Structure formats: C-alpha cells, structure tokens
C-alpha cells in the first residue's frame, strides 16, 4: 500500500502555489527588519562572527544580483556559483531565481576532494557566467585555464554587486514549470547528471518539509553547516526559512569538520526558539565521539526540536550514541528524525519527525535479502536492524516490483517510487536517462497516479505505515545466487576489530567468472597506533566475522589509510568510486605505509 497524499496548499489555488522567490519580497514587505540569513564566519573570529541580513536587505541584495546577472546573461542561460559558502552564495541563488538565469550551485575550485565532480558538472552545464569572489578569483582562473571546460562570457564578483542596481529590477512572472537551478548529483562514477529543479519543485519541497517538521511550533529557526552545493544543505538554508519568513543560521562545512561542537553550540545559542537542523549519519557520529562532559557542560540543547538524519544508511548505534552523549545537555529523545531523500525529489521525501524516539526494527537478514520483511528479536541469530524513515509528506511513495511495475504489498521489498510536485521533470540535456528515471508507469495504479513516477534506484519496504530503506539496487552484492546488502557487511566489518575505522568501510563485488566476489575496503582507525598494528590479525578478524554473520567468503580485504575511502558531497560512502580505485590500484594501503617505514 502506497504511503502519503498531496497537501491541499500545493493544489491549484492553495497558499503553497506562491513561488518561493516571490515570498522573499513578501517577507521584505511584511517583516522587513526580521533576520533572514545569518552566516557565522569562524575565520574572522574563532568564536564565530555573526553576519546577518534582514528580509528587506536580502530582497534588495537579491534584486541587485538579478540585474547584474541579466547584464551578463540571458534568461535560460546558466550561472555557475564558484564561490565560498557565505552570505553572497545565498544572495546569488536568490538573484538567479529572480532573473530567470538558471543557477548551478557548485563551489570554489580550491575545495579539496571534489575536482572531478566540478569539472564534470561545470562542463555539462555550459555556464554563460561565473559568479565568484575576489578572494577566489585566482582559483577560478586556474580552473578555467587548466581544464578543457567552457569559458564563461563574464565573471561576476558577488561582493561587488552595487545594491543600488535593485532599483532597476522589474518583477517578471515566475512560472512553476520554469527552471530555477540544476542540482548535480554526487557519488556516481558515470557522467554527472544535472537534476532540473523547477520553481514549483523547490517551493513544494519547502512546504513539504515544514509540514512534516512539526509546523505548529512557534519561532522556528534553522541551523546548518551543510554544503550549499548539496541538495540537503541548499534546501535547508534556502527553502525552509523562505516558506514562512523564518531565520536561517549557517556556517561552512570546514568549520564543522575542524570543530564539530560548533554545530551544537550554534543550536544552544538560540534560547526560546525551536531549532531545526539536518545532517548525514556520519556527522552525528562525529559529534557523539567529540561530546566530552567538559565540552557540553554549558550547552542547553532543549530547544532542538528536530535534527534530521539522512543521506546515507542510518545506523541504530549512531542514534543511540548521539542521544546518550547529548542527553546531559538537554537533548529531547524525540528530536532525532531519521529521513530519506534524494536530489531527484528536490531532496525531502520522508522523515520520522514525530517527537518520539526513532523506531528501530529487527528483522531476519536472510528473509530480507530474499525480499521479505520478517520481524524478530534483537538478539536473534542473524538479525539485522532497520531504522524507520517515517512517512512522506505531500507526496506519494510506493514500493514497486521494477520488472512487473506492480505495487508490492506491505512487508515485501521492492524499488522505492516517488510521485509529487517535488519530483523533478528530468535531467539536464539527457532525455534518455530522464525517461528511465522519471517516466515510471504503474501497471495497475488503482487510486494512485498512473504516470510520472520517479524511480529512485533504492530498495525499500513498508511496515506499519512507515518506510524502511534497505539499500541501493546498484550496490547489491550477489554471491552464489544470494543477495547481500553492502551496509550489513560494512557493519560487521567495523565491529570485527578495533583497527577498523567506524563508518569508513566499503563493501562491493567484483567479477569472479561464474559468480561475483566480495571485496571489503576499510580505513585504519587512527586510535590504533601503527606500531602495534597486526595486519594479519585484522584481516583474519574481518574474514571470520563476515563468514560467520553472512555465510560468505571475503575474496579480498584491504586496510587503507585514513581519508582513503571515496565519499560523496553528503558524506555517503561512494562504493562505485572506491571499487574503481581498487581495480585501478589507486588506494593508499596501510601495508604500503608500513613498508615505507621500513
């Protein structure tokens, strides 16, 4: 049975039909002095310098940027954002949305670890204009000179746009089907795909998010450090506050990586507010491991209403460790909200945001890999845990057999299909892939829409009216005719030996002739010194654990140096990219490190 329904306000004539960018002008008129966007800059002050724009200031800056962009580009042209994560980034996004110039949210070329993604996305978008800052200009010029990429007609410096240009802007009609920006997907080794996000998509997803995140709570504020070039980060900061004219406080990812407690401190600084935030699973694990009693002694997290956990498999151990670590600081046990989303749905699909502790279901692993959910005791032999991602809001989710296109009954695994006003129309200049992903048709729709279903490529199952995500279809490991979810093997691996770094394991299959063969790549845990590391002992522990838990042999186990696992922009393990580097012999192995030490 499908989950969800459409929101009345998103139907024709509803309040949700006002395009998001038009709401900026509305809040500028209705609450001009209320704070809109605050950027916290730790490079100016180690305690964080708070730089704030009111709604009136944000609207004026956005209109000035719209005029400047139209001086350099025509409606329908693309503007690539190659600038750091500051207030200028958000004002450029809003200006592009006003101007009908299609934004391409990217990043400054000096951001480490994302060079190939930048080259692919930039080339695919063919931008007419680049928006950057003076400080980042040298990196942009080097990027344009060193790579065979389209040359822009003009480079615009975001911080130098004259605000008086706003007086020249004349509002133009914004259609729900007009493209707002291209969201390039992360993590794939194939050609990057620019998801076409319309004004209708981003408006709908913002409304859906607030409707699913306890909207009756007063004085909501959003706190984020997520990258704005990633779907979850962009929608959190751009769409959530703009729906109702609320306040977004954000910093940059590097500030969080350098000190994860800054995230918690920004939340604790909002007394009397209901704070919303979001992050991938690894971020909550990082905070939990850093939250010593001394660091949380003066924190009050009682105002944290919802912290969405998404963008990768959600580990029950992470939910527990985060709750236990932050409970002394007043964290509400019901604040954690496991969720599910993807760029093709703008971002948000479902979340368990019900002011209740996350639901964890223990099921029989063998039955699950055979396509059936069977609940069992937590301590049962070969049990595996699934975390509920709650229910969709303002959209439909169906579990479908991809071969027959028939909806699967509750308790049966199938592909997750999504239908709603937030699902994108397609991929930029890629009609074949667009049809394959966004052209899903149910064979027997019943009361559901028959067409325009977005096929996610994820396996999932519905139980007691809630969605459980079981894994990526393309990542499924099939050995000797049996299915295995890689995250199960990765979980077994990281628990097998203390030398394996938690949440930094990639399991994948390689061709073995008659059957696939399992390869496990794991990062070394820095807490185990190289001097007392026994590689043979670690490998034996991993092989033994996988053999016992999953009844399969590990063809190859590779321990590599910290930082060696490929990850996506949202922090997910990029299994396909890691597999390719393994096949190419490009992984930084710990064995090589030990050999170099003599």
Banded pLDDT at 189 (limits 50, 70, 90): very low
CA-CA distance, 242 to 527, in Å (whole number)?
43
| Confidence (pTM) | 0.90
Residue-level pLDDT at 11: 64
Do the Cβ atoms of 524 and 560 come closer than 8 Å? yes
- Residues 125, 129, 134, 138: is their CA dihedral positive or negative? positive
CA-to-CA separations, 454 to 201, 342, 396, in angstroms, rounded: 13, 11, 10
- Whether the CB-CB separation of 436 and 452 falls below 8 Å is answered with no
The pLDDT of residue 303 is 94
Q: How many CA atoms lie within 13 A of 159 on its CB side?
A: 12
Q: Please determine, for residue 137, whether its predicted confidence score (pLDDT) is greater than 50.
A: yes
pLDDT digits (tens, 9 = 90+) for 206-265: 999 988 876 678 889 999 999 999 999 999 999 989 999 999 999 999 999 999 999 999
Which residue in the block uniquely carries the two structure tokens 């029950």?
Answer: 316
Condensed to tens digits (0 to 9), the pLDDT of residues 401-421 reads 999 999 999 999 999 999 999
Greatest mean pLDDT among 269-278, 325-334, 510-519, 558-567 lies in 325-334
Q: How far apart are CA 91 and CA 102, in angstroms?
A: 14
CA-closest candidate to residue 219, choices 279, 299, 305: 305
In 3-state terms, what secondary structure has residue 160? Answer: helix
pLDDT given at position 188: 42
Are the CB atoms for 204 and 8 separated by under 8 Å?
Answer: no
Q: Name the 3-class secondary structure at 478.
A: strand
Q: What is the pLDDT of residue 187?
A: 46
Q: What is the structure's pLDDT at 15?
A: 60
Nearest partner of 411 among 339, 448, 460, 450, judged by Cα: 460
Q: What's the fold here for domain 1-19+251-264+277-473?
A: Rossmann fold (3.40.50)
Residue 528 and residue 538 in contact, taking contact as beta carbons nearer than 8 Å? no
Domains 1-19+251-264+277-473 and 477-596 agree in fold:
no
CA dihedral 259, 350, 341, 280 (to 10 degrees): 20
**At 534, phi and psi to the nearest 5?**
-110, 100
Rounded distance between C-alpha atoms, residue 507 and residue 487, angstroms = 7
Residue corresponding to tokens 């309040």: 15
List pLDDT tens digits, range 169-178.
999 999 999 9
Higher-scoring residue by pLDDT: 309, 551: 309
Domain edges within the chain: 1-19+251-264+277-473, 477-596
Q: How are beta strands 500-511 and 220-224 bridged, if at all?
A: unpaired
Give, as one character, the DSSP assignment of residue 409.
Answer: P
Task: Report the pLDDT value the prediction gives residue 186, as an integer from 0 to 100.
Answer: 61
Three-point CA angle 205, 79, 209, nearest 5°? 10
pLDDT tens sequence across 268-319: 999 888 999 999 988 999 999 999 999 999 999 999 999 999 866 788 999 9
Give the closest residue to 66 by CA, choosing from 137, 149, 167: 167
Tell me which long-range contacts 69-72 makes (C-beta under 8 A, separation of at least 24).
69/95, 69/96, 69/99, 69/101, 69/129, 69/131, 69/156, 70/99, 70/101, 72/128, 72/129, 72/153, 72/154, 72/156
Residue from 81, 127, 70, 396 nearest 238 by CA: 81
pLDDT over 70 percentage in the chain: 97
Q: Are 328 and 293 in contact (CB under 8 A)?
A: yes
Instruction: For 530-577, give the DSSP string.
Output: GGG--HHHHHHHHHHHHHHHHS--EEEEEEE-TT-S-B-TTS-B-HHH
Packing angle between helix 231-244 and helix 199-212, nearest 10 degrees?
80
Q: Mean pLDDT, to the nearest integer, of 442-459?
A: 96
Residue 471 CB contacts under 8 Å (≥ 6 apart), including other chains: 313, 458, 459, 485, 486, 487
The confidence band for 205, taking pLDDT boundaries of 50, 70 and 90, is: very high
Q: Tokens 């980034």 label which residue?
A: 89
Paired strand residues for 220: 274
Which segments of 390-473 does DSSP mark as H helices, in order? 431-438
User: Band of the pLDDT at 574, cuts 50, 70, 90?
Assistant: confident
259 has which bridge partners?
none
H or E element that contains 70:
helix 55-72
The residues, any chain, with a CB within 8 Å of residue 566's CB and separated by 6 or more, are 506, 573, 574, 577, 578, 581
The residue among 353 and 11 whose pLDDT is bigger is 353
How far is it, in rounded angstroms, from Cα 131 to Cα 84? 10
DSSP states along 489-539? HHHHHHHH-TTEEEEEEEEEEEE-SSSEEEEEEEEEPTTS-GGG--HHHHH
Q: Which of 194, 166, 172 is nearest to 182 (CA)?
A: 194
pLDDT in tens, 80-104: 999 999 999 999 999 999 999 999 9
Q: Which CATH number fits domain 477-596: 3.40.50.150, 2.40.30.10, 3.30.200.20, 3.30.300.30?
A: 3.30.300.30
**What integer pLDDT is reported at residue 566 of this predicted model?**
83
Rounded CA separation 185/176 (Å): 22
Residue 167 CB partners (closer than 8 Å, separation 6+)? none
Q: Specify the long-range contacts of residues 429-437, CB closer than 8 Å, at least 24 apart.
A: 429/124, 429/194, 430/193, 433/193, 437/344
Both structure tokens of 241:
């506050």
Alpha-carbon distance 596 to 319, whole Å?
Answer: 39
| Residue 191 pLDDT > 90 | no
The fraction of the chain above a pLDDT of 90, given in percent, is: 78
- How much is the pLDDT for 12? 55
String of b and e for 245-264 (b: at least 16 CB within 10 Å)? bbbbbbbbbbbbeeebbbbb
Mean of pLDDT over the chain: 93
């Amino acid at each position: 049975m499908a989950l969800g329904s459409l929101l009345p306000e998103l139907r024709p004539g509803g309040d949700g039909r006002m395009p998001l960018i038009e709401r900026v002008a509305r809040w500028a008129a209705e609450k001009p002095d209320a704070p809109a966007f605050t950027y916290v800059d730790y490079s100016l002050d180690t305690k964080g310098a708070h730089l704030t724009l009111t709604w009136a200031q944000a609207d004026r800056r956005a209109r000035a940027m719209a005029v400047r962009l139209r001086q350099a580009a025509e409606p329908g042209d693309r503007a690539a954002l190659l600038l750091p994560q500051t207030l200028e980034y958000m004002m450029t996004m809003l200006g592009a949305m006003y101007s009908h110039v299609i934004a391409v949210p990217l990043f400054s070329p000096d951001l480490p670890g994302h060079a190939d993604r930048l080259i692919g996305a930039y080339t695919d978008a063919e931008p007419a204009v680049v928006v950057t800052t003076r400080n980042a200009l040298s990196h942009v010029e080097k990027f344009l000179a060193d790579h065979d990429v389209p040359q822009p007609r003009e480079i615009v410096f975001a911080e130098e746009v004259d605000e008086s240009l706003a007086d020249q802007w004349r509002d133009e009609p914004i259609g729900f089907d007009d493209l707002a920006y291209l969201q390039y997907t992360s993590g794939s080794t194939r050609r990057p795909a620019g998801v076409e996000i319309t004004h209708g998509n981003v408006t709908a997803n913002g409304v859906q998010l607030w409707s699913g995140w306890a909207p009756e709570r007063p004085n909501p504020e959003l706190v984020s450090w997520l990258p704005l070039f990633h779907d979850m980060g962009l929608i959190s900061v751009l769409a959530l506050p703009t729906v109702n004219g609320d306040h977004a406080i954000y910093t940059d990812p590097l500030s969080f990586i350098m000190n994860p407690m800054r995230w918690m401190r920004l939340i604790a600084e909002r007394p009397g507010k209901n704070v919303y935030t979001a992050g991938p699973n690894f971020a909550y694990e990082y905070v939990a491991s850093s939250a010593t009693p001394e660091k949380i002694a003066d924190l009050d997290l009682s105002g944290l209403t919802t912290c969405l956990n998404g963008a990768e498999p959600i580990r029950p151990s992470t939910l527990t460790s985060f709750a236990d670590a932050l409970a002394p600081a007043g964290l509400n046990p019901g604040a954690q909200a496991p969720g599910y989303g993807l760029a093709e749905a703008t971002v948000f699909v479902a979340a368990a945001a019900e002011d209740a502790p996350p639901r964890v279901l223990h099921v029989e692993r063998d039955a699950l890999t055979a396509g059936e959910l069977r609940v069992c005791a937590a301590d049962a032999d070969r049990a595996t845990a699934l975390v509920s991602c709650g229910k969709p809001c303002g959209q439909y989710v169906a579990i479908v057999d991809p071969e027959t296109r028939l909806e699967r009954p509750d308790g049966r695994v199938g592909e997750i299909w999504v239908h709603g006003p937030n699902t994108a129309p397609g991929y930029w200049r890629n009609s074949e892939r667009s049809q394959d992903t966004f052209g899903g048709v149910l064979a027997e729709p019943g009361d559901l829409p028959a067409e325009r279903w977005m096929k996610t490529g994820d396996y999932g199952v519905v139980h007691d009216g809630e969605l459980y995500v079981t894994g990526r279809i393309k990542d499924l490991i099939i050995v000797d005719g049996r299915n295995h979810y890689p995250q199960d093997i990765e979980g077994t691996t990281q628990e097998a030996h203390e030398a394996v770094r938690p949440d930094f394991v990639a399991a994948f299959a390689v061709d073995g002739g008659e059957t696939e063969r399992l390869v496990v790549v794991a990062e070394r845990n820095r807490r185990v010194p190289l001097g007392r590391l026994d590689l043979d002992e670690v490998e034996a522990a991993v092989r033994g654990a996988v053999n016992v838990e999953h009844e399969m042999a590990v063809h190859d186990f590779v321990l590599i140096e910290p930082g060696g696992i490929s990850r996506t922009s949202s922090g997910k393990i990029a299994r396909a990219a890691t597999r390719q580097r393994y096949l190419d012999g490009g992984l930084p192995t710990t064995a090589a490190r030990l050999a170099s030490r003599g």
